[in-house]
DNA sequence: ATAAATAACGTTAGCGCTAACGTTAATGAT
DNA sequence: ATCATTAACGTTAGCGCTAACGTTATTTAT
């Protein structure tokens, strides 16, 4: 049980070669004969050599570590981070996460500077502040953003929010709903705007009820969804279905609907967006639009690694397609469409 | 908009002092006159100096970064990580997270080696593998564990699981329940064992029904809780209340109870453990035992920082007290205690 | 057979920083 | 007036590693 781990110098000494040869061998670079390479790798493995990434980076090389800046407040973000970790590891890259707390408003500059001392590139996941990165074109460090960051000069990996929202409305319309309420998201976010735009477009296209009262404002959070749905439930003619701009809003809405003595989906259908894991925990399980988490993280890592290798990013903007996940919170509208009362029991679907 | 950030050498040059003096100034160490110190700090600030932690650590100093090894799969863990971040920042320490995916079984050694090159100490959060760390007494790097890790030779920050489970049973007993089911957790975990022990002790102490059928095994996950509760519901004489060893089990149990056409809390009371955020999202909101997240993370950081400063850890084991969070899933048992049927309709809830 | 190209190495210098040990001048003790 | 002490600095060396440029043998072209 050795106390301290061996350095490259020790490997080199044991193998009877220079440090550079050892370095080339362990980094899989040319300039070493096959036998020597094998020998060095064997020794490195025997001695439990772990390269010092900090030193690698310090001396101008690659550390083979990628950084992630994220707010870990939502499971959605955490799952994205996990996906990035796997994708990175598959490419022989380690991942380190800088957790941004929403409470502190530390400027992004120093954080990136800190990370740049260790990592070769950074993936930024910022669901809540669109202009966060706009300022810093550090240029030194490859950066890729996920989800938002429209104005930032970095490649962006995004879900096609417009398309996703269309799927949601199409699903509701196909079930027979003509009067659909919409709980909007945080207006400052491009994702929220895209979803709202799709809602309005589809409503016009399908000739659904276009009552302005049917659009209420949420904030992407549970509480906002609750209040918004309350307003919808108090309308003279409430909608038969509600599209919430994200799952947490939908969860809040569900409570408000229940509070108004109506049930989901018998009286009101409800659909969310994201497919966070809570969506499957609530009762009834929430029908929603799934963001392709795995694809997103893989795309982000691939783009970043390309940039690290000096290849120009394949695209400034990669749009991934979401999909409908039909669960239990949506159904056909009640037959007596005008019924505002709890009505109709026993409808199994 | 400068491209690359200044180094200590530049600060020193501009200030007309040696690097060491600049180093001492920015690191708040003695040996610099007040005027020079102020001057240097001003210049450093002007130039946007960000210390290179990797280099600091390389040269034998402190990087003022702490590492966290965690599985980000549960919100509980994420929230703990967030807490550690705040606590660290309050002490002027940055935090970097190494996200352990449950899929990969990478040995902990190299991960710690990697982190040790950057951070001054590590906090390990391991809800699911108790013996993970037992092997590595790296000794070089201060380590603190949270939640589990009983056999590891490091200071541990834990919730008093025994006390928490007692609170849960006391709460149920106070409501009038005499026949309480228990969904046990993962036997391999000390936390699960402590909770089970408290259940048995309290049951004996309060003279509750001690039918062995009332104890069923879960696995700390939703699915396990579901199956366990199903078995309880099929008993000839089901319990009037269930204590699930954690919240996710309780959420699963809730679905099983509902499936058996009984309602929570009218027919069956249900209490969980942890107070993860889902507990507040389910309907009815789950009564549970809250783990003192903030205190835990603060204690972990304080202990770690003490160890980093060379002070012996204040205690090998810090036990924090959980508290009861009474929400909607618990109530007095139905009056006709023997009723095995769905019973009691007309309840608006 | 000889110059030119290549492969397989080794050397030097330096990334940004800090321990550890100088050096210098000012202060205090006797 | 002389020596010890202290505060405020500066110098040297080195953490672990890798570019960039040697150096040497070996091959290939002509």
Question: Using one digit for the tens of pLDDT, what is the confidence trace for B229-288?
Answer: 999 999 999 999 999 999 999 999 998 998 899 999 999 999 999 998 888 888 889 999
Give how far Cα B342 sits from Cα of A202, B174, B182, B257, B324, Å: 44, 24, 21, 10, 28
Phi and psi at residue B183, in whole multiples of 5°?
-100, 105
Do residues B146 and B122 touch, judged by C-beta distance below 8 A? Answer: no
pLDDT number for residue B347? 41
Closest CA to A138 of A125, A119, A160: A119
pLDDT number for residue B322? 97
Average pLDDT in chain B: 88
* B54: nearest CB among A110, A117, A278: A117
- DSSP strand pairing (B180-184 vs B143-146): unpaired
Strand C contacting residues by CB (7 Å): A 16-21, 30-34, 36, 55, 58-60; B 7-9, 19-20, 23, 26-27, 51-52, 55-56, 58-62
CB contact under 8 A, B139 and A3: yes
Nearest-CA distance from A262 to chain B in Å? 11
What's the CA–C1' distance between B37 and C16, in Å? 20
pLDDT number for residue A186? 87
Give every strand in the sheet of B269-271, ordered side by side.
Answer: B215-217, B180-184, B241-244, B269-271
Does position A209 have pLDDT exceeding 60, yes or no?
A: yes
* Two tokens, residue A242: 């509600």
Nearest-angstrom CA–CA distance, A133 and A152: 6
CB contact under 8 A, A278 and B283: no
DSSP summary character for residue A202: H
* Chain A to chain B Cβ contacts (< 8 Å): 123
Nearest-CA distance from B72 to chain A in Å? 6
Task: Classify the phi-psi angles of A149: left when phi > 0, otherwise alpha if psi is within -120 to 50, otherwise beta.
Answer: left
What's the CA–C1' distance between B22 and C29, in Å? 34
Chain B residue closest in CA terms to A48: B110
Q: In the predicted model, what is the mean pLDDT of residues A8-32? A: 94
Closest CA to B132 of B191, B69, B78: B69
- DSSP strand pairing (A180-184 vs A215-217): parallel
> Using one digit for the tens of pLDDT, what is the confidence trace for A311-332?
877 678 899 999 999 999 999 9
Q: In the predicted model, what is the mean pLDDT of residues B19-45? A: 94
What's the CA–C1' distance between B8 and C10, in Å? 32
B58 touches strand D (CB under 7 A): yes
Does position A137 have pLDDT exceeding 60, yes or no?
A: no
CB contact under 8 A, A50 and B78: no
Give strand pairing partners of B263. none
Does position A138 have pLDDT exceeding 60, yes or no?
A: no
Q: Which band of pLDDT confidence, cut at 50, 70 and 90, is reported for residue A343?
A: very low
Domains and CATH numbers, chain B: 8-51 (1.10.260.40), 65-154+292-321 (3.40.50.2300), 161-287 (3.40.50.2300)
Q: Cα torsion at B192, B196, B202, B203 (round to 10°)?
A: 150
User: Chain A interface, mutation test: which of B4, B7, B50, most A Cβ atoms within 10 Å?
Assistant: B50
pLDDT number for residue B126? 76
pLDDT number for residue B348? 41
Does position B6 have pLDDT exceeding 80, yes or no?
A: yes
pLDDT number for residue B345? 41
Residues 3-32 of A with CB under 7 A from strand D: 7-9, 19-20, 23, 26-27
CB contact under 8 A, A118 and B54: yes
CB contact under 8 A, B85 and A101: yes
pLDDT number for residue B130? 52
Q: What is the DSSP string of A13-57?
A: HHHTS-HHHHHHHHTT-SSS-HHHHHHHHHHHHHHT----HHHHH
Q: In the predicted model, what is the mean pLDDT of residues B183-205? A: 93
Does position B105 have pLDDT exceeding 80, yes or no?
A: no
A36–chain B Cβ distance below 8 A for any pair: no
User: Chain B interface, mutation test: which of A81, A107, A117, A276, most B Cβ atoms within 10 Å?
Assistant: A117
A105 Cβ neighbours under 8 A, 6+ residues apart: none
Q: In the predicted model, what is the mean pLDDT of residues B103-125? A: 85
A110–chain B Cβ distance below 8 A for any pair: yes
* Two tokens, residue B202: 């309290």
Looking at beta carbons, which residues of chain A come within 8 Å of B3? Answer: 139-140
CB contact under 8 A, B117 and A261: no
B85–chain A Cβ distance below 8 A for any pair: yes
In a 13 Å sphere around the CA of B320, the CA atoms on its Cβ side amount to 21
> Using one digit for the tens of pLDDT, what is the confidence trace for B322-346?
999 999 999 999 986 544 444 344 3
ipTM above 0.95, yes or no: no
Nearest-angstrom CA–CA distance, A215 and A165: 14
Nearest-angstrom CA–CA distance, B42 and A24: 43
Q: Where are the alpha helices (DSSP H) in chain A?
A: 8-15, 19-26, 34-47, 53-58, 75-90, 108-116, 161-174, 190-206, 222-233, 247-259, 293-308
A117–chain B Cβ distance below 8 A for any pair: yes
* A251: nearest CB among B54, B85, B281: B281
Does position A82 have pLDDT exceeding 50, yes or no?
A: yes
3-class secondary structure, B55: helix
Does position B87 have pLDDT exceeding 60, yes or no?
A: yes
Please give the biggest Cα pair distance in chain A. 87
């Amino acid at each position: 049980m050795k106390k301290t781990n061996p350095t490259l110098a020790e490997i080199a000494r044991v193998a009877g070669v220079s440090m550079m040869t050892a370095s080339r061998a362990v980094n899989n670079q040319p300039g070493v004969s096959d036998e020597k390479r094998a020998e060095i790798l064997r020794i490195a493995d025997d001695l439990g050599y772990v390269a010092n990434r900090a030193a690698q980076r310090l001396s101008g090389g690659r550390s083979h570590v990628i950084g992630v800046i994220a707010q870990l407040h939502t499971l959605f973000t955490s799952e994205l981070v996990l996906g990035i970790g796997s994708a990175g590891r598959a490419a022989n890259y380690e991942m380190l996460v800088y957790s941004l707390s929403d409470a502190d408003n530390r400027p992004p500059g120093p954080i990136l500077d800190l990370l740049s001392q260790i990592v070769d590139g950074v993936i930024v996941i910022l669901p809540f502040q669109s202009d966060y990165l706009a300022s810093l074109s550090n240029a030194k460090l490859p950066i890729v953003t996920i989800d938002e960051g429209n104005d930032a000069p970095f490649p962006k990996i995004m879900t096609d929010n417009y398309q996703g929202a269309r799927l949601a409305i199409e699903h509701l319309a196909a079930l027979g709903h003509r009067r659909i309420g919409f709980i909007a998201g945080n207006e400052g976010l491009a994702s929220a705007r895209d979803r709202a735009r799709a809602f309005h477009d589809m409503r016009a296209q399908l000739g659904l009820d276009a009552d302005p009262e049917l659009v209420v404002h949420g904030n992407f959070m549970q509480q906002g969804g609750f209040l918004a749905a309350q307003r919808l439930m108090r309308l003279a003619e409430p909608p038969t279905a509600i599209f919430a701009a994200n799952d947490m809003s939908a969860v809040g809405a569900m409570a408000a609907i229940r509070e108004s003595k109506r049930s989901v989906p018998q009286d009101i259908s409800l659909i969310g967006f994201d497919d966070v894991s809570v969506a499957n925990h609530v009762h009834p399980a929430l029908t929603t639009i799934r963001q392709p988490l795995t694809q997103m993280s893989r795309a982000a890592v691939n783009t970043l690694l390309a940039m690290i290798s000096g290849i120009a990013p394949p695209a400034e903007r990669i749009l991934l397609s979401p999909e409908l996940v039909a669960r239990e919170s949506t159904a056909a509208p009640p037959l007596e469409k005008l019924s505002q009362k709890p009505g109709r029991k026993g409808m199994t679907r």
